[in-house]
Each structure stands twice: as structure tokens, then as C-alpha cells.
Structure 1
Amino acid sequence: MAKWGEGDPRWIVEERADAHNVNNWHWRESDATQWSKTKFRELLEGMVIEDENIGSCTLSSISCEGEASVSNRKNKIICFYEWNIKGKWKGRTKGDDKWYKGDLSIEGMSEEYSPEEVEVEVKVPKENSESKELNMMMKSLGVSLVRGKLANYLDALRNIYASQLILSPKERKPDPNTSALSQTNSDSMKSRMENLAMNDAMKRCDNKAGSVNSGIKIVTKKITMTETFMTSIGELYATLTQKDRMAAWSRSPVKHDAEVGSSAVLFDGNIEVEFTELVQDQRVAMKWRMKSWVAGHFSSVKISLEQTVDGAKLKLEQSGVPETSVEATMQGWKRYYWSAIKMTFGYGARIM
């Protein structure tokens, strides 16, 4: 038995409030969405962009769409975020009383790109000779300064917000903006999965394709997808088959590790699976269905893993997907499997 102050630090017994996650060895996740929205407004709303030889502009009406999450795994901070930000600018040239207006757009800001690579677009409704210098100032100096603010956001996310995940439970201060969101994160994912299933069911009804399973012929399609995860095939295989990891990325209670013949119900009952083949670090095969499909109808899923220089490459082949459900099924894999796994374990994000 481990003694106080000795042995593997993962197992050292410490006095702590929750009796869990010693030295931050296991993953801990916090929803930083609301905090991020507040931070973006703090950094960009009212920001002044000025050149003493040209004029000045002020940003306003900043709005944000997207999400952010910070995880701590094996005492490493992992940031996942994706944002689209819009705003307006208003300014005038030096010695001119006329005001000029325009729009600001930041698309696709995510952990895949550095702030210098993020696309910042300045839009001018009607460019003319009077405002040409001001417009050029916004497209050069303005874009550069805005990217600087994006770098400030990322720095605060990693070093200020994320610091709460490293502290011990006694030292950690509850954040009123994020604690409620963290508690409802699982419900949010379940709700979105239910909406996806509901939309799929509505399409089937519109096509008169499945109110009763009474010998109705179901037109099906085959889908193929590939995805790369920044990890080893061993880690990815464990993530797809071990109950604790499956429960973490699916936010669903999983009773046991995957075994041939075993089954699992994920996303509040919206997905049912039965494992049919398991080859360590190579292949996972299963029967898979959405709750909205005709009762008793399962598709066949085969997931193959290959180690590449870029990470673990996953190839999915799924046959027997109802024709009306192809789009919903592909979106479900992308959003609720691939993105969720990357967000939870940092397999697609920058690791500090």
C-alpha cells in the first residue's frame, strides 16, 4: 500500500475534498464557453484602432458563436475551442467630421490555427476615395491588432482559466459562469443527439419509410469515413473499448468494457451498439443503430486503426444505413464521436 509521500505520485494518499484524481492524473474537463464569450467582449468591445496620420476606428456590437473547453489530463492542459466572431467598426479620418462604418468578421478560430493564421476580415459596405485610407488602415493595422487580442484570449484561456483545473479541490475557486454549464454539459450533448435523431425520424416519416417494422423493405446505403487522432492506435483502441473512457467522451453510463457479444446504450438511449469483433489495436466491429430507425434494424460498422506519422488513422465502414439517415449518421459520427473524443482526451488539440 502506498505510504504518505512515497511511491507513484498517482496513488499517493492526500487529504482532499473529493477523494478523487490525485495530482491531476485523470482527465478533468471544464466548459469555458461562457467565460470565453465574456473575455472576447472584454478584449474587443470598444477597442480603438488608431493611426495618428490617418484617423481612428472603434469596434462595437461584438457577438460570438462557438464553444470552448479546457481539460487537464496527466497534469497537462488541453484547450479545445472553435469560434466565429462578428462585430462592427465606426471611424473617421483625421480632420474629417464624416463617420464611416463597416463590419468585422473572424471565422473558424480554433486550436488548429495560431492567432496569426486566423482569418480576420474587414468589410466595407461602400468604399470610396474619401474613406480609402481608413479602410486600408483597418485591413492592415486593424487586422494585426485584432489578432493580438485573439492571442491575449488564448493566453488567458491557458494560463488563467486553465489554472483552476490544476489546483487542488481545496484551492479551486468555483466560477459562477462555468460551474452550471459544466453540470449541464452532459444534458446538452444528449439534447443535441435527441434533436439529431428527431430530425432523422421526421425525414423518415416524410418519406413514409418506417412507422411499423412489418416486412417493409428499407433502402440502405454504405458510408465510409476517415479521421486522424493525435495519439497512438493503442490509446485510441482503449478509448473506443474501455468503459471509463467510453463513459467520458459519450457522457453516458457504460457498465463494462467492450467484449464480443456485449452491448452498450449511449447518448441517453439514442444509440445502441453490440460488439461483434475486437482485435487489439487493430479493429472494432459492431452492430449499430439509432433509436429513430425502424425497430430491430441494425447497421454493420467496421472500424480499422492504422498508425501513421500524423497519428492514429481511423477508417470507418458502415453498411445498412437507411438512405434517409445517411446525412444524420455521418454528422453524428463527426460531432458526437470524433469531436467528443478529441475534446475529452486532447487527441486533436494543442497540448501545453
Structure 2
Amino acid sequence: MRKEGVQKIASALETYISTLKTEFTQGMILPTVNGEQSEPTPLPVCKPEKQKAPEHAAGNAFKSKSVGVKIPTCKINLKEVFLTSPDELYRIFITQELVQAFTHSPAVVEADKGGKFQLLDGSVTGEFIELVPEKQITMKWRFKSWPEGHFATINLAFSDKADETEVRLEGKGIPAQEEERTREGWQRYYFEGIKQTFGYGARLL
């Protein structure tokens, strides 16, 4: 009796295993075509899409980049003596009619802090930063040919030397390639122009 039970269990297991193998292999062995077994078609593999940054993020990244081009600059220093008082010389630099006289061309001069000026048919433009009567003139100053929007800072300091006035010019932020031209421009169009026009360059005997 026990022997028959073991045989029945073994027979049932054999049938069960055979059934499992049949079900498991279904679909893996494909029907043949003309006696040749077809290879299973591989499933397509999806590649992940590259995520695009939001438009506003791209805009911010663009804005964070520095805009503009840095240029090499230099500094100049000049000193000149005029045979006049500091008050008189100061007025010549900030009075439109007097500026037109020594530059021999139309000029626009707004003699106030933040006031604009334009000389030599627009070749020179700028803005007054600080005006201290008889003592100092500080301005943003540029030649028209300089890179757009670039200004040098020019400071004129007036010192009373008895019957003479000494002017010290300090120029910062001048484009390096324009150093000599700027130096000559101030010497010729400002200093020499004032002396020749108003007679402040020679002592009268």
C-alpha cells in the first residue's frame, strides 16, 4: 500500500513538472518558417531624453555672463603755469563763451555738478563730477573715437602761486593706445589754446 502511494506521488510530480516545462517554454520557441527557426525580434530600447533647461533658466544663465570688453588703460599727469589768478582760470574752463573762444569752435558747457559738455564739434564730450570754485574741476571726459561708453576721469587742481596759477592735471582710465593723443590734446587744445587766446603764457615787460 505504501509502495503504491509513493509511485502515485512520483507519477503526479512527473506530470506536474512536464506541464510546467511546456508552459514556461511557450512563446520562447517560435514557429518555424520553411524549417528555419525565426529569431525573436528584440524589444526596442528607449534612450532617456535630455532634459531641456526651462527658458527662464537659460535666460538667467545668459544674463549672468559678463557683457562688454575690458580695455587696457593708463594714467597721465600734466603740469602747467598760467599768468592769471585761479579764479579767472577756473572761469575759463567752465564758461561756454570762453571755452568757445580758446577752442575756436562751438561748444556746449553746463557748469553744474552732473552738467554735460561738448567741445571741438563733438570730438570731446563729458560730464562734470565736481566743481570747487578756484580749486578743482573733476570730470568724466572722452574723445569721440574711444570705445562706446568709455570715459576717463580728469581732475584739474588749481594752486595760487602769487601772480601765477599752477594747474595739475591727473587723468585716469585713459585707453592705453590713446595716451599720447590725450596728452597732446590737453596740451594743445586746452593749455596752449588758453595761453594764446587770453595772453596768459608770457610776462609783459
TM-score range, shorter chain: 0.5 to 0.7
Partner Cα distance (2:139, 2:129) in 1: 5
Partner Cα distance (1:296, 1:237) in 2: 27
Structure number with greater CO (CA < 8 Å, separation at least 6) is: 2
Partner Cα distance (1:222, 1:326) in 2: 8
Partner Cα distance (1:228, 1:291) in 2: 28
SS in structure 1 of the partner of residue 122 of structure 2: coil
Partner Cα distance (1:350, 1:228) in 2: 12
Identity of aligned residues (%): 41
1:268 to 105, 113, 121: 121
Q: Which residue of 2 aligns with 1:238?
A: 91
Partner Cα distance (2:89, 2:147) in 1: 31
Matched, 1:249 2:83: no
How far off is 1:255 after superposition?
Answer: 4.0
Task: Map 1:129-278 to 2 at 5 A.
Answer: 215-278=68-131
Deviation readout 1:17-44 (Å, 9 max, x if unpaired) = xxxxxxxxxxxxxxxxxxxxxxxxxxxx
Q: Which residue of 1 aligns with 2:135?
A: 282
1:301 to 154, 168, 172: 154
1:319 to 172, 182, 185: 172
Q: How many aligned positions are there?
A: 139
How far off is 1:250 after superposition?
Answer: 1.4
SS in structure 2 of the partner of residue 281 of structure 1: coil
How far off is 1:263 after superposition?
Answer: 0.8
The one-letter amino acid paired with 1:278 is L
The one-letter amino acid paired with 1:345 is F
How far off is 1:309 after superposition?
Answer: 3.5
The one-letter amino acid paired with 1:325 is E
Task: Map 1:8-157 to 2 at 5 A.
Answer: none
Deviation readout 1:192-218 (Å, 9 max, x if unpaired) = xxxxxxxxxxxxxxxxxxxxxx61111
Partner Cα distance (2:145, 2:160) in 1: 35
Deviation readout 1:81-111 (Å, 9 max, x if unpaired) = xxxxxxxxxxxxxxxxxxxxxxxxxxxxxxx
The one-letter amino acid paired with 2:69 is I
Q: 5+ unaligned residues in a row in structure 1: which ranges?
A: 1-213
Deviation readout 1:207-255 (Å, 9 max, x if unpaired) = xxxxxxx611111011111100011101100111111111111123234
Contact 1:228 1:310 in 2 (8 A): no
Q: 5+ unaligned residues in a row in structure 2: which ranges?
A: 1-66
Partner Cα distance (1:331, 1:321) in 2: 13
How far off is 1:268 after superposition?
Answer: 1.1
Q: Which residue of 1 aligns with 2:184?
A: 331
Report the aligned-residue RMSD: 1.5
2:144 to 282, 291, 295: 291
SS in structure 1 of the partner of residue 98 of structure 2: helix
SS in structure 2 of the partner of residue 268 of structure 1: helix
Deviation readout 1:286-342 (Å, 9 max, x if unpaired) = 000001100000010111000113610000111000010101100101111100000
Partner Cα distance (1:215, 1:256) in 2: 30
Contact 1:277 1:285 in 2 (8 A): yes
Larger Rg: 2
Deviation readout 1:28-64 (Å, 9 max, x if unpaired) = xxxxxxxxxxxxxxxxxxxxxxxxxxxxxxxxxxxxx
Partner Cα distance (2:118, 2:108) in 1: 10
The one-letter amino acid paired with 1:316 is L
Partner Cα distance (2:126, 2:195) in 1: 21
